[in-house]
């Protein structure tokens, strides 16, 4: 029934999508690891980034890949500002408040987009949108579209960069210190509010990169973030909250599960597979596959 000729392209397709999922989930897991909150506005922020890429292409003719140096810093600034000006002030030191504020922000962003850009689904046209590249491994062969291949490579490079920043730089050291013990970090002279905002900014910058890689083979509408947000949550929970390796592997895994689920069960029921994994992991192994038991 399911021979290699169908299975292999589907797996490969899932792997490329999964890499972008992983990048989005990395941003989410960084924010969670440091601030210990779930950023419900993650999907809405991705949607804004996608619109940014879209308008840069449509208004200025800027290629999505060349938009990277614009969109990534812009998203960083947005994240830094949101954390400093809104989220930090609204928290009053309570996690539930942050949860509700990010939910509120996501509602505002999504519906402002609906208000200004209407509910139309928009796509961009590039010279390489329909280019495909053959891939052969042994007897298995598949045609994979070029933007997806670029997205796969780009997402992996961006993820590696993020892990390097957090693992090897002074800023990364400060981030890890605050994540572990914020009072201790404060006593050591680390500006905790600044580190919070930097983490939020970097988390959103990941979305900027993801948006640039996604759009050539994807679309944008005001609700587009919702599809990603639960998937990203699933990955973060599956990989273990705050774990980078977990988010990376979880992203690739979920991408393949979604692709195979869609192949076997049909598109909409395939999505259910993800949610069921999500609920099952939350219930039975909330520390995730790679997370430390608390």
Residues forming the site for other proteins (CB under 8 A): 37-38, 40, 86, 89-90, 92, 94-97, 99-101, 103-108, 110-115, 118-119, 222, 226, 230, 233, 237, 268-269, 271-272, 275-276, 278-279, 282-284, 286
- What is the Cα–Cα distance from 24 to 140, expressed in whole angstroms? 29
User: At what angle are helices 224-239 and 4-35 packed, to 10 degrees?
Assistant: 80
Taking the complex as a whole, how short is the minimal distance between the CB of residue 172 and other proteins, in angstroms? 25
SS3 category, 95: helix
Longest Cα–Cα distance of the chain, Å, equals 63
CB 241 to other proteins: min, Å: 9
Nearer of residues 32 and 290 to other proteins, judged by Cβ:
32
E strands, the chain, where? 132-137, 140-145
Task: State how far the Cα of 28 lies from the Cα of 203, in Å rounded to an integer.
Answer: 6
Rounded to a whole number of angstroms, the minimum distance from the CB of residue 22 to other proteins is 19
What number of helices (H) and strands (E) belong to the chain? 12, 2
Q: Which is nearest to 19 in space by CA: 199, 259, 242? A: 259
Q: How far apart are CA 77 and CA 201, in angstroms?
A: 6
What is the pairing mode between strands 132-137 and 140-145?
Answer: antiparallel
Whole-number minimum distance, CB 182 to other proteins, in Å?
A: 18
Quote the least distance from Cβ 131 to other proteins, whole Å.
33
In the bound complex, what is the minimum distance in angstroms from residue 143's beta carbon to other proteins? 30
Nearer Cβ to other proteins (105/174) = 105
Q: How far is the CB of 3 from other proteins (least distance, A)?
A: 27
In the bound state with other proteins, the residue whose beta carbon lies nearer, of 164 and 276, is 276
Q: Which is nearer to other proteins, 38 or 174 (CB)?
A: 38
Map residue 169 onto helix, strand or coil: coil
CB nearer other proteins, residue 95 or residue 184: 95
Contact 165, 171 (CB under 8 A): yes
Residue of 216, 215, 277, 288 lying closest to 248 (CA atoms): 288
| Residue whose token pair is 């792997």 | 15
Q: How far is the CB of 39 from other proteins (least distance, A)?
A: 10
d(CA 14, CA 11): 5
- Both structure tokens of 96: 């539930």
Count of other CB atoms within 10 angstroms of residue 156: 16
């Amino acid at each position: 029934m399911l021979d290699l000729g169908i299975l292999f392209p589907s797996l490969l397709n899932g792997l490329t999508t999964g890499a972008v999922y992983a990048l989005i989930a990395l941003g989410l897991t960084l924010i969670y690891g440091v601030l210990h909150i779930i950023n419900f506005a993650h999907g809405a922020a991705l949607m804004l980034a996608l619109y940014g890429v879209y308008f840069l292409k449509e208004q200025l003719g800027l290629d999505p890949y060349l938009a990277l140096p614009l969109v990534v810093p812009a998203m960083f600034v947005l994240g830094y500002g949101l954390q400093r000006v809104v989220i930090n002030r609204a928290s009053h030191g309570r996690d539930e408040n942050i949860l509700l504020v990010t939910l509120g922000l996501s509602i505002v962003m999504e519906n402002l987009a609906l208000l200004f850009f209407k509910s139309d689904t928009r796509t961009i046209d590039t010279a390489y949108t329909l280019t495909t590249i053959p891939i052969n491994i042994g007897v298995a062969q598949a045609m994979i579209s070029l933007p997806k291949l670029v997205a796969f490579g780009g997402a992996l490079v961006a993820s590696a960069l993020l892990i390097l920043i957090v693992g090897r730089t002074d800023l990364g050291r400060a981030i890890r210190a605050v994540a572990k013990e914020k009072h201790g970090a404060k006593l050591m002279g680390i500006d905790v509010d600044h580190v919070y905002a930097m983490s939020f900014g970097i988390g959103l910058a990941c979305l900027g990169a993801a948006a640039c890689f996604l759009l050539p083979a994807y679309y944008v509408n005001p609700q587009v973030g919702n599809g990603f947000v639960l998937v990203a949550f699933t990955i973060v929970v599956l990989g273990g909250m705050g774990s980078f390796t977990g988010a990376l592997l979880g992203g690739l895994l979920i991408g393949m599960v979604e692709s195979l689920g869609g192949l076997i069960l049909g598109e909409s029921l395939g999505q259910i597979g993800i949610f069921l994994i999500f609920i099952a992991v939350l219930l039975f192994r909330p520390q995730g596959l790679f997370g430390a038991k608390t």
